[in-house]
Amino acid sequence: MDQIAGGSWDERLNHLYCCSGGEALEAVRARTIEAVKRYQELFSAGDDVQVALFSSPGRTELGGNHTDHQHGCVLAASVNMDMLSVAAPNGTNQVRIHSEGYPVLTVDLSDLSPVESEKETSASLVRGVAARMTELGQAPAGFDAYVCSSVPAGSGLSSSAAYEVLVGTIFNVLFCNQVFTPVQVAQIGQYAENVFFGKPCGLMDETASAVGGVVSIDFKDPSAPIVRKVDFDFPATGHTLCIINSGADHADLTDAYAAITNEMKSVAACFGKEVLRDVDETTFRATIPELRKALGDRAVLRAIHFFDENRRAVQEAQALEKGDFAAFLALVRASGMSSSLYLQNTFAPSDPKQQAIPMVLWAAEEVLQGTGAVRVHGGGFAGTVQAFVPNDKLPAFLSAMEELLSKDMCHMLSIRPEGGCLVAG
């Protein structure tokens, strides 16, 4: 702790949290010191106990809304909100995690089979990550950890992926000699969420959190996704990236998310394929009348969204690489329109009275007036909205969001250059 307080880690902390010194760095330093203190208190560890500090960031989806589960292309980025953990091996076969604000979690690694009663819980993710690493020839063992998070639950920044990547990174560093690459850590996290947690997610969230920075990802072969870093200076654009929590509860929406995946796959199945990425688009478009009769309009519209959105994700990366931010914003606006009209994930059909995301989109457009860009963010239905706000309109934008929702519902973010990692230890 003395090294942290004395500034020995300042360069590392500045790099990860994009705080550029000053009060922001002081806050990060204080948070890190507090995490070490909490670990010592909770696990009765003295100053002589050697611990390691880990961090796993939240992510924002910049392009490719619901394309990853169809083996499509996405554009994503890690952000400067993260899960921070102090951890150390405990010499047992049990993982003990104290997450701030939650009861202690204990997972016995002697049983690495899915546990029905653990589904949709953090315990299932820990067990699933350990199980997959064991299948891949490693021997993850027990550790003690304290975890605190600045990734708000329900923020659309994928706290679940950050948690999976954090657990995977801790196992990877402490017990696996870091044999797993960031992409492999992401794949292990996805496996845990699919098989043990019980959610049919794609791979975008975990990859963005594990790899870090702005990344263009092609999931045509999910076992070996093509991940490319995109170098772009967002602060130089004069815009601020904002994520707005709509305030609606996005629990109990697994069926709504699954319906998107299932309907897209039902279209693919008509062509003898498992996912839409493997379907010829020209053939699909020529077959739309027959598909409507067989599957209904919504499945077809969602497939139309996939093909267009898959192209847009590539075009957005190209626009950033060329430094053409205006073209990028135009593509973001087109993505938002497609998600609203064709993908139809701005509210759940099961609860039509709840339309918080369309309300936020309306309020944002009232301020932006055709500048910047705004769109539904992530899974949708009741989650978050993403906006690129011109800095001269930021005060009015924040005021409008507070008036519609409440304080602390609009998060101003920076792109973090590094993914899940060992900070020090």
Alpha helices, DSSP H only, in 280-393? 281-286, 288-295, 297-321, 325-338, 356-368
Instruction: Tell me the mean pLDDT in the region 243-247.
Output: 92
Tokens 């801790």, located at residue = 170
Label residue 202 exposed, middle or buried (CB < 10 Å: 0-12, 13-18, 19+): buried
194 DSSP assignment: I
Enumerate the β-bridge partners of residue 115: none
Residue 80 phi, psi (nearest 5): -85, 20
**Residue entry with tokens 């020839």:** 137
What's the CA gap between 364 and 389, in Å, rounded? 9
Least confident among 40-49, 264-273, 281-290? 40-49
Q: What is the DSSP letter of 195?
A: I
Predicted confidence (pLDDT) at residue 201 exceeds the cutoff of 80: no
pLDDT band at 17 (very low <50, low <70, confident <90, very high): confident
Q: Does pLDDT of 144 surpass 90?
A: yes
Lowest-confidence segment of 217-231, 275-289, 309-323, 334-348 by average pLDDT:
217-231
Considering the chain, what is the average pLDDT of its residues? Answer: 92
Instruction: State the CB neighbour count (10 A cutoff) for residue 355.
Output: 17
DSSP state letter for 420: S
Distance CA 356, CA 136 (A): 43
From residue 248, give the alpha-carbon distance in Å to each of 105, 318, 405. Answer: 27, 34, 10
Which phi and psi angles does 46 have, rounded to 5°? Answer: -85, 175
Structure confidence by residue, pLDDT tens digits, 113-139: 999 999 989 999 999 999 999 999 999
What is the tens place of the pLDDT at every residue in 54-73?
999 999 999 999 999 999 99
What's the rounded Cα separation, in Å, for the pair 52 and 84?
11
pLDDT at residue 193, as a whole number: 93
Find out if CATH 3.30.230.10 is the number for domain 48-231+416-424: yes
Higher pLDDT, 5 or 271: 271
**Distance separating alpha carbons of residues 223 and 210, to the nearest angstrom:** 16
- Predicted local distance difference test score (pLDDT) of residue 416: 92
